[in-house]
Amino acid sequence: MEKLSNPGEVAALRVADEAFLVASTIERCPKTMMIRELFMNALEAAIVASSGPRSIEIRALNFGSTQKLSIWNTGPGMSSEELHRVCDIASSIGKDKGLDNNFGMGAKVASLPSNRYGLRYRSNKNGVVSEVVLGERGGVYGRLRRPNGEGQLEEVFDVTDAARAEGADLRCDWTEVVLFGNRSDQNTVKDPYDGNPSVPGQWLADYLYYRFYRLPEGLSVRFLPGTHKLDGSRYFRTIPDRAFPLGRSQSVVNDSGLIIHYFYDPPMAGTSHNRSVSGAITSDVSTCALVHKDELYDLKRSRQWTLDAPLYGIPFGAKHISVHVELPSDYPVRPEAYRQFLRYREADQRQVEIRDFSDLVREHRPAWLLEIINSFAPTDTGSTDEIRDELQKLLNSLRVKSPNLALDQSGKVQAAFSPGRGFQEVDSDRGKAGDSKRHDLDDLLAVPQGAKRATVSLNADRAPEITLLHDEEQIEEKGLKGKAAKFYRDAA
């Protein structure tokens, strides 16, 4: 697109109803993006810490009989002026805003719908701790005004003494955000969205595990007691860092720079789990997803993945096999406004789906992976050979030609079917009474008596391979419970 270079000819648009814009921006944001935005803010601050550890800690803080979730990070702290300013929409400190990078409003916008009661920020800069609480009162979102010792309302407070009394280390800069939720008695460690939606016990570790594919080198993320399903404190590790070494993996680069990561997570003996479940604070299910700038998009997991896996050339063993397609950083895609998914930059800018790359995944499967896939296939008893032979004869005798199939954007198959060219609709018994018609061969196209079918006219496609499933678990995995069969267009 051509860039026009005279801004003096343009009167900049302004916001006529600021309160409505702020409220609508916040309330339209998907709630479940809250942790992504808060964690990314913590990550970006921690990795630029000038001294000391580069750390993020997930904590459970006690407020009376209720626990509130806290995300704490090292990195440059903020003064009271900076903390006040950063609370505005589309405001950030020390970052460059851009459509492909930081939007400057993600954490606040994504967090406030689920923290109307309060979202507390504390930041330590040079030993001085400043505090502000965001929330919603009477339909208005903003900084909560609280009375000081003299009864005057203020938005930002110096809470250095209180932080020190609580045991906070003031020797290095840090920032902390605490989720107070929508009610004073809401446990935001276990129920961050006030039941809408509800979450499983290990929701936080799983969310980070299936969102962040890599972490910057030197960054540590620690889950403190009460924030995960195991005991004590545990360090968070990503899929390639933790799971890949437990099984077998390979990354294949194609000509356009896409990287396809194949990972086999062996079954754990005596259980229904994969080996990566051992000592993990996260789930061990197999996945298929896009990776862009170290984040996962369009994630398929568990049953959703095992049902789609044959399209990627993995008809068997998908419960133990993961596939991740990593797009180069300069690939022509861009996150949508709330970063839930990717869009193509050009043409109709449709949503990017992992299925767009299923052919590449199938074509580049390593030999060792094919062996593993075959090892999970049911034992061939030979009982289907006769059925397949009869089906092939039937296809040949009917001269069935497979139509050119194409998937539209909704995933439906588009195909045109029509009678063969050797048939025409002609009148039978011309000149006789009645309007009935039947299909007869036109004389010009009639095949000479005694002619045999040429090899080229035989059906080019083979009859589909038929695989019998006897095991209840395999039937459940393929989504065949209560069904006779399922056909995959291309799984080889």
Range of the domain at 194: 17-235
Considering the domain architecture, whether residues 210 and 266 belong to the same structural domain is answered as no
Q: How many domains does the chain have?
A: 2
**Judgement on whether residues 192 and 303 belong to the same structural domain of the protein:** no
Q: Which of 362, 215, 361 lies closest to 290, judged by CA?
A: 361
CA atoms within 13 Å, Cβ hemisphere of 466:
16
> Are 226 and 244 part of one and the same domain?
no
Residues 61 and 138 placed together within one structural domain of the fold: yes
Nearest to 296 by CA among 251, 244, 352: 352
Tens of pLDDT, residues 50-63: 888 999 999 999 99
In a domain, 431, yes or no: no
The answer to whether residues 279 and 318 belong to one domain is: yes
**pTM for the whole thing?**
0.78
Cα four-point dihedral sign 122, 125, 129, 133: negative
The SS3 call for residue 132 is strand
pLDDT in tens, 291-329: 999 999 999 999 999 999 999 999 999 999 999 999 999
Q: Which of 252-261, 357-366, 452-461 is least confident?
A: 452-461
Specify the pairing of strand 55-63 against strand 66-74: antiparallel
Instruction: State which of 235, 270, 286 marks the end of a domain.
Output: 235
* Residues 245, 146 within the same domain: no
Give the pLDDT confidence score for residue 419 in this predicted structure.
46
Q: Answer yes or no: do 265 and 308 share one domain.
A: yes
Mean pLDDT of the chain: 86
Using the structure block, give the residue that is written with the tokens 């339209």: 28
Q: How far, in whole angstroms, is CA 242 from its chain's centroid?
A: 19
pLDDT band, very low/low/confident/very high, at 96 (cuts 50, 70, 90)? low
* Mean pLDDT, residues 18-36 taken together: 91
Q: Is there a domain that residue 3 lies in?
A: no
The first and second tokens of residue 44, run together, are: 């970006």
Please check whether residue 413 lies inside any domain of the structure. no
| Residue 112 belongs to domain with CATH number | 3.30.565.10
pLDDT at 406: 53
pLDDT of residue 389: 76
pLDDT grade for 15, boundaries at 50, 70 and 90: confident
Give me the mean pLDDT over the 41-55 stretch: 94
Which pLDDT band holds residue 489 (cuts at 50, 70, 90)? low
Q: Does the residue 72 lie in any domain?
A: yes
Q: Provide CB contacts within 8 A for 492, sequence distance 6+.
A: 313, 362, 465
Query: What is the Cα–Cα distance from 422 to 446, expressed in whole angstroms?
Result: 8
How far, in Å, are 118, 133, 141, 142, 491 from residue 137 at the CA level?
Answer: 10, 12, 7, 8, 55
Closest CA to 131 of 200, 78, 172, 62: 78
Q: Is 216 in the same domain as 112? A: yes
Which of 235, 259, 278 represents a domain boundary (last residue)?
A: 235
Choose one of 348, 375, 402: the last residue of a domain: 375
Residues 70 and 177 in one domain: yes
Residue 236: per-residue pLDDT: 98
User: What residues contact 489, with CB distance under 8 A and at least 6 apart?
Assistant: 311, 405, 413
Residue 4 reports pLDDT greater than 50: yes
Are 309 and 347 found together in one domain?
yes
For residue 104, the model assigns a pLDDT of 42
Instruction: Tell me the sheet residues that pair with 128.
Output: 125
Phi, psi of 302 (to 5 degrees): 55, -130
Q: What's the pLDDT at 421? A: 44
Of 44-53, 106-115, 132-141, 418-427, which range is least confident? 418-427
Q: What is the mean pLDDT of residues 223-246?
A: 95
| Number of CB atoms found within 10 A of residue 288's CB | 27
Contact between 77 and 125 under an 8 Å Cβ cutoff? The reply is yes
What confidence category does residue 106 fall into, taking pLDDT thresholds of 50, 70 and 90? confident
Please check whether residue 26 lies inside any domain of the structure.
yes
Nearest 10 degrees: Cα torsion 183, 184, 186, 189: 120
pLDDT at 434 over 70: no
Q: How far is CA 85 from the centre of its chain?
A: 32
Measured CA to CA, the distance from residue 50 to residue 87 in angstroms comes to: 24
Bridge partners for 253 per DSSP: 259
**Domain presence at residue 281:** yes
- Phi, then psi, of 276 in degrees rounded to 5: -70, -5
**Together in a domain, 69 and 114:** yes
Residue 212: per-residue pLDDT: 98
**How many percent of the chain have pLDDT more than 70?**
78
| Count of all residues that appear for the chain in the document | 492
> Is 43 or 402 the better-scoring residue by pLDDT?
43
Residue 460 falls within a domain, yes or no? no
- Contact at 8 Å (CB) between 315 and 373? yes
Residue 408 half-sphere exposure, CB side, CA atoms within 13 Å? 5
Report the 10 Å Cβ neighbour count for 459.
Answer: 17
pLDDT digits (tens, 9 = 90+) for 366-407: 999 999 999 998 776 556 676 677 777 777 777 666 655 555
In a domain, 117, yes or no: yes
210 plus 97 within the same structural domain: yes
The mean per-residue pLDDT over the stretch 255-267 comes to: 97
161-201, pLDDT tens digit by residue? Answer: 999 999 999 999 999 999 999 999 999 999 999 999 999 99
Q: For residue 258, give both structure tokens.
A: 């896409």
Predicted confidence band at 470 (pLDDT cuts at 50, 70, 90)?
Answer: low
User: Which residue, among 184, 182, 121, has the nearest Cα to 157 in the 3D structure?
Assistant: 121
Residue the block writes with tokens 């959703």: 304
Task: Dump pLDDT digits (tens) for 472-485.
Answer: 677 677 776 656 57
